[in-house]
Every structure is written in structure tokens, then in C-alpha cells.
Structure 1
Amino acid sequence: MDLPAGEVSSTPIEYEPVSVKDVLVEMKDTAELLIDLAYSAVLHQSDEIATEVLRLEQKMDVLEIRAQMSLLMAARSPSDAEALAPVLSIVNAADQISDAAGDIAKIVLEDIGLPEAMRAALPEAVETLVRGVVDAESAYANRRLGDIDLESETGVRVIALRRGDDWLLNPGPDTVVCAGDIALLRGPEAEIGGVYETLSATPYDPVVPEAPELDDLERAVDTIVHMKNLSELAVDLAYSSVLFDDAELAEEVSNLEVEVDALESRFEAWVLQAAADAEDPVTLRGLIHLGTSTEVISDAAHDISEGVLRDIEVHPVVQLAVQESDEIITRAEITTGSQLDGTTVSEGVPDADVTMSVIAIRRPGDGWILVADADAELRGGDIVIAKGTRTAAEQFRTVADA
């Protein structure tokens, strides 16, 4: 039965022999979607998206209990307990992320207070995300995503579908969109309105943001958006560090946590300064909640990677999970005078065989640069985080050093 948002199910959860690997993969996908939806709910001031966050939080609670049951059943000796402890930490950290995302959603649903400046930050923060119900007469209803070919035609992606209580995460070309499905769409503002109207048979009514009136408030909003992006990156790197037993990536998670902590201190100071000049300081209360929850997500990412930092051997169940991944995240240091020194990210790697996408740069003295839509120039000494195939990752590290 579909529960109202925020209501906890009292349905008993009994032990079932499920694959811990499958549960871990589902928890990872759910945690990443939760973060995405929670911040989108705030930036869009969307009660509907915030409600979906709370529904997903309920799903994560069930996944956590099932994972804990399976891990307890698997531990038959002290050596088993030692090997499974880091996996349990991953499960608990995913639940912390879920709880933090739920707290962010409640900022919207409980009208805790957010300035209009949050909406003004939207165009630079994320692509537009909307929630729509698939209309029975929609041109997309009862068709495979591969046949609709939505992303190549419009740039809009279906990032998840909810069918009653069941979630379809990471839908692929063979996923069928059914009438009545709750669809979560992400894409460019110029295109998403038309897709939304075709899907839901409902007019698209975008929010027009107001520019912030206070300089301190503008700085605070810019900072929280940067904290959000860094926390999302930390979660991505944390899971990758565990899945690939990569101590260098785990170390970057620690670096990101330090950066987010420092940003939170400055963020709180700017919010308090803005409150002194604001007509209604209570409207800024939600920003404080948002900063706290963002820092919790960063801490949870650190907890996920802690086993790798402590050089605890990755459990085979986690190694099985990574075998399903075609893409990996890698870390490389740009050597001065190498092929990558002085190249622009937007121009790509100067080797046709190296198909890596640079997602972030840590530059000594300058901190983190997120380069999803930037044309940052790589420099000697930069620590670069890139995503691509295993083969391309090896080649990328080679050209970064030569």
C-alpha cells in the first residue's frame, strides 16, 4: 500500500535469503538518487519532489534492515565479523545519507523557511528536475525508453520511475513507461517543459526566481550549492574507493570532508550576517538546516571509505558488486610538462584512445574545482578525478605522467 509521505510502515520485515551484493548496489543507487532529489526539492521549492524523497527514505530503511539481517546471518566466526564490519559501516552510512536527505526534504514540506535566493541559484546548480504522472493518453505511455529515444531527441533523461510502492532506479532502454507511473525527469530547462507536458498532459509552470537582495545571503547560497556539489562528489568517490579498494580515492574523500567542514563554518557566518539585515530572519532558518544536513552527508561519505583508509581488506561481496560496473572513477596527478599540463578540460584528453571525463580537480592552494560545465585548464600539480572505462583509466594516468 502507498503510504502518505513521512508515515512509517508498521509492516513486519522478515528475513529472506537475499544477495548482500544486490542490496548494496540498490542502497548505493537509492542514496545517490535521494541526494539528487532532496536538493532539487529545495532548489525548486517542490512539495511533490520532497514527498518522493520521504518515500525513498522509507525504501532505504527496509533495505538497511534486510542488509543487516543478511550480514548477521553471514557472520559465523570472529574472522567473518572482522571482514564484514566495513560492509556494515557502508550500510549504516547509506542510512545516514537517507536520513539527511529526508531532513532536507522536510525543510520544504514543513515550510521551515528558505529565501527566494535559493531559486536564483538553480540555473548554475543543477539541470531542471521535475516529477510527473504518466498520462494514459501520453505518447510515452506503454513504450520502451529505447523506442521513445527521449534523451537523444531532447537531452531530457528519465532518472527514476515509481510504480505504486516499487521504484525502478536507473531505468534503461528496455524499461517500459506505464500509464500512472511517477516519472522523475532531468534535463535542460529549454526542453524539459515540452517533455513534461507530453508525458503528463499538464501545463508546465516553471518558477521564476528573484535575485537575492543581500550580498551575504548571495554568498551563503553560492556556498551551500558548492557544499552540495562537493558532498555528492564525496559520496561518489567513497563508493568507488570501496568497490575498487582504492586508498587514493578514499584519501580524496577525506580531503573533501575537510573542505565541506570549512565551507560550513563560513556558510553559517554569512547566514548570520545576512540575518542581521533581513526583513524576516526566520526565512533563513532552513538554510541552517540545509548546511547541517549537507555536512552529515559528507561525514557519511567518509564513513563509507574509512575501511579502505584503515587498510581493511575489501570483502568479496563488495568485489562482486563492482564486477557489474562498466565505468570506474580514477585519480591522477598531473605532472608538470606532461601531455595534460596546460590542456583545457572541455577540449578533451589529447589522445583519441583516452575517453575519460574529468569531473573534478583539486588544485593546491585553490581547493576543489568542479568542472562538469567548465573549461578549466589542467596544470602541473593538479589532482584530477575522472570517470571512464578501466582501460581508459590506465591510459589517462599514463598521459598525466608523461
Structure 2
Amino acid sequence: MDPFEGEASSRPVEYEPVSVKDVLVEMKDTAELLIDLSYSAVLHRNEALATEVLRLEERMDVLELRARMSLMMAVRSPDEAEKLAPVLGIVTAAGQISDAAGDIAKIVLEDIRLPEAMRAALPEAVEMLVRGVVDAESAYEGRTLADIDLESETGVRVIALRRGDEWLLNPGPDTRIEVDDVAFLRGPESSIGDVFGRMTGKSYDPPVTDAPMIDDLERAVDTIVHMKNLSELAVDLAYSSILFDSEELAEEVRNLEVEVDAMESRFEAWTLRAAADADDPVALRGLIHLGSATEVISDAAVDISEGVLRDIDVHPVVHLAVQESDEILTRVELDDGSDLDGTSVTAGVPDVDATMSIIAIRRPGEGWLLVGEAGAELRGGDVLISKGTRTAASAFEELAQA
């Protein structure tokens, strides 16, 4: 156990007046980062990343307590209780995501066995995420992110910084990189090593795996990777359903949760069958832990959108919290004969004059296709989940209509 964990969990948390909106924003950002860090910790068998997950989980526990205290102080009538009940559900769901991420990290920290095939498969499904400490001699030290301009030059993003006990979850253009900052970098494997080296003064050695595959194990690994991606999408859609008070988006969250549940059943069956042919069946234990935690994340996404599903008015404080993001997710049903019908999509970008990026397609009778994993051709009747600005969203919807 990391030494900080016991100390942090025993610290008293006293009530102090805080903005519920600010706490919800931080909980949302923390939950999303926790999902990223926990799976990357498993991918790289990286104890340092896993420890950062537990640090963030402790932070989330404090945020959850403060949010509950503030909500209790705000309730003065049955009407207010009704409006704030979904907010409490959102707070609880973020805590559940945090706990699930902690369980994933403990696969590494408690040395719960995981087949090498898992780490062999994940690099094809996700960008690389690495953690490094900014060196005093770094070319980036003392400069702002706008000045460094990493993303446009290398495709690598600084998704978070930890400065002592302080977390900067959404570093912006004016954020300055300082010596000893713990930086979390996400980007393509081809360039992240160079950026890591310039940031930390150390070389980055990506994990190398050479695992013989068992057919049923390969199916199980492919399924858990898909479950992970669908669960992350469900969380994004859940927050978007709140932003737009959209029952359609909330229903898509429910559809995703049903799909993840069905996939978990198949995943468990393939894992058990693989045990018969595995040299070391105990090594599959971590895979089962990973499946259970992933399913918890998709369930939490439904809890986030529950107020919308039950047609309860969303409290204005939640709208304000979700609006902190410049990017939004939208759901559009594609008409036959529209400008998008028959269009090819590569890496999420449709072959039309549009600035929205398609991240997922639900095709009637075929289920979900995550466009980031492969190219696709759009068809009439497809339900498109897209990401972009609010301005681009309305223009994109027109392209989908005949």
C-alpha cells in the first residue's frame, strides 16, 4: 500500500461553503481522468500510474463528501429535494466510477495476475498515456502550453498535471509547465517517446509483449477492450444528456449499458473456456476483475442520466457544470438520401465539409461500431454519436437530414 493512502483516508473533512457547480466540474473531470489512468496502468503494468489513480480516488472521496454536505445544506423544501435528487445521483455515480478505477489500479498494485495477451491487445485500441516528472533541464520548463504547442506539432496532449497535492485537470493554453510537475501525456506511440524524453530527461521504453494467443482468450481480450470503449462513451453521453436535457441521449446510454452487460456475459464464458487451455489459469484472475470494474462504469453512466430518463427537471447547477466543456456530444439519426448517406468515415472524420468528428455508430440490427477503431461507410438509419462545437453540431444535423 502506498504510504499516502492511509493518511489521506483518515483526514477529517469539515463542511465549508463551496460552489456545487465547481465541485461537480471537478468530479466530472476527475472521473474521466481516472478511467484513462487506470486502464493505462494495467496496459503498462505501471505502478506509478496505478498509485496516481489511488491519489485521485482519495481526492474524489473528499469531493463527494463536500458535494453531499453542500446539497444537504441547500435543501429547504420538498420541491428542492426533488430537483436536487438527480444531482445526488450524479455525485454518487462519479464516486462509483472512482471506486471502479481504483479496483482496476489494484490489479497492478496488489499483483493480481493478468495474461500478457491483455497488454498485447490494448495498444491497438488506445493512444499511449504516460506519466513523467518535469526535469529542471527540460526544454518545456517555465513555458506555457500555448508556447510549447505540443498538440499541433506532435499530436501529444498534456491531459493533466499534478503539482504536489494540487491537480490541474484541464490545463489550458496559459498553463505553465514547472519543474517537478507530474505530467500526464496522451498521444500516438510514434511521437510520445520523444515528448516524454524532452519533458523528463529520460528515455521512454514502451512495453513489449510476445504472448501466445488462445482463441477463447483472444475473444475475451477483444471483448473487454470493446467493453472499456463503450463504457467510456456511455459516461460521455450521460453528461451530454444532462447538458441538453435529452431523453434520446439518455436512452443511448441505456442501450450502451445493455450492450456492455451482454458482452460481459460472453466475456465471462470465453474467459472460463480459456482457462482450460491456459498454462496458468490463475493469470486470468485479473481479467475477471477488469471485466467487473468495466461493467460498474457503464452502470454508473446510467445513474448519471437517470434524472433525464425519469423526466425530472435538471437542476440549473448541473447545466452550468457540464457547460464548462467547449466540446459537446450529439446524437443524430441519419436519413436515407441525405448528404451523409453513403459517406466514408476515416478516423472519425466523414468525407464531407463538416467539422464534427463521428466517434460511434449504432446500426440497427448490427449494434455499436466505434469509428476510432476502424473506418466505416455511413448508411441511412444509422444513429451517429459525434463530437464537436455547438456551432458545428447544428450544421452537422442538417447534413444528416434528407
Question: TM-score band, normalised by the shorter chain?
Answer: over 0.9
- Of stretches 258-267 and 182-191 in structure 1, the one that deviates more from structure 2 is 182-191
1:315-366 deviations in Å (ceiling 9; x for gaps): 01112224433322111111111111100122845653x4211110001111
1:255-292 deviations in Å (ceiling 9; x for gaps): 00000000000000111011111111001100000000
SS in 1 for 2:233: helix
- Whether the 8 Å CA contact 2:243–2:323 is kept in 1: the answer is no
- Whether the 8 Å CA contact 1:362–1:382 is kept in 2: the answer is yes
1:29-85 deviations in Å (ceiling 9; x for gaps): 000000011111111111111111000000100110111111111101111111100
Summarize the alignment of residues 144-159 of structure 1 with structure 2, pairs less than 5 Å apart.
Answer: 144-159=144-159
Q: CA shift at 1:293, angstroms? A: 0.3
Equivalence for 1:132: 132
- Unaligned 5+ segments in structure 1 are none
Distance in structure 1 (CA, Å) of the matches to 2:324 and 2:54: 28
SS in 1 for 2:104: helix
Q: CA shift at 1:211, angstroms? A: 3.4
Equivalence for 2:272: 272
SS in 1 for 2:276: helix
- Whether the 8 Å CA contact 2:21–2:317 is kept in 1: the answer is yes
SS in 2 for 1:121: helix
Equivalence for 2:60: 60
- Whether the 8 Å CA contact 1:119–1:210 is kept in 2: the answer is no
1:167 aligns with 2:164: no
Distance in structure 2 (CA, Å) of the matches to 1:350 and 1:124: 24
RMSD: 1.5
Pick closer, same or farther for the CA change 1:171–1:212 going to 2, 3 Å.
Answer: farther
Pick closer, same or farther for the CA change 1:285–1:351 going to 2, 3 Å.
Answer: closer
Equivalence for 2:107: 107
SS in 1 for 2:343: coil
Summarize the alignment of residues 240-389 of structure 1 with structure 2, pairs less than 5 Å apart.
Answer: 240-346=240-346, 348-349=349-350, 352=353, 354-389=354-389
- Whether the 8 Å CA contact 1:6–1:55 is kept in 2: the answer is no
Q: CA shift at 1:146, angstroms? A: 1.1
- Unaligned 5+ segments in structure 2 are none
Equivalence for 1:397: 397
1:170-205 deviations in Å (ceiling 9; x for gaps): 111111111111111111111111111111112222
Pick closer, same or farther for the CA change 1:215–1:4 going to 2, 3 Å.
Answer: same
SS in 2 for 1:180: coil
Distance in structure 1 (CA, Å) of the matches to 2:202 and 2:183: 13
Pick closer, same or farther for the CA change 1:351–1:281 going to 2, 3 Å.
Answer: closer
Distance in structure 2 (CA, Å) of the matches to 1:272 and 1:126: 26
Pick closer, same or farther for the CA change 1:6–1:289 going to 2, 3 Å.
Answer: farther
Distance in structure 2 (CA, Å) of the matches to 1:176 and 1:336: 49
- Whether the 8 Å CA contact 1:127–1:187 is kept in 2: the answer is yes
1:83-127 deviations in Å (ceiling 9; x for gaps): 100000000000000000000000011111101111111221111
**What is the number of equivalent residue pairs in this alignment?**
400
Task: Output the amino acid matched with 2:30.
Answer: T
Counting aligned pairs with the same residue, the percent is 75
Q: Under a length normalisation based on structure 2, what TM-score does the superposition of the two structures give?
A: 0.96
Distance in structure 2 (CA, Å) of the matches to 1:198 and 1:240: 37
- Whether the 8 Å CA contact 1:244–1:322 is kept in 2: the answer is no
- Whether the 8 Å CA contact 2:340–2:352 is kept in 1: the answer is no
Equivalence for 2:204: 204
Q: Under a length normalisation based on structure 1, what TM-score does the superposition of the two structures give?
A: 0.96
Pick closer, same or farther for the CA change 1:227–1:212 going to 2, 3 Å.
Answer: farther
Q: CA shift at 1:137, angstroms? A: 1.2
Distance in structure 2 (CA, Å) of the matches to 1:104 and 1:33: 13
Distance in structure 2 (CA, Å) of the matches to 1:6 and 1:374: 44
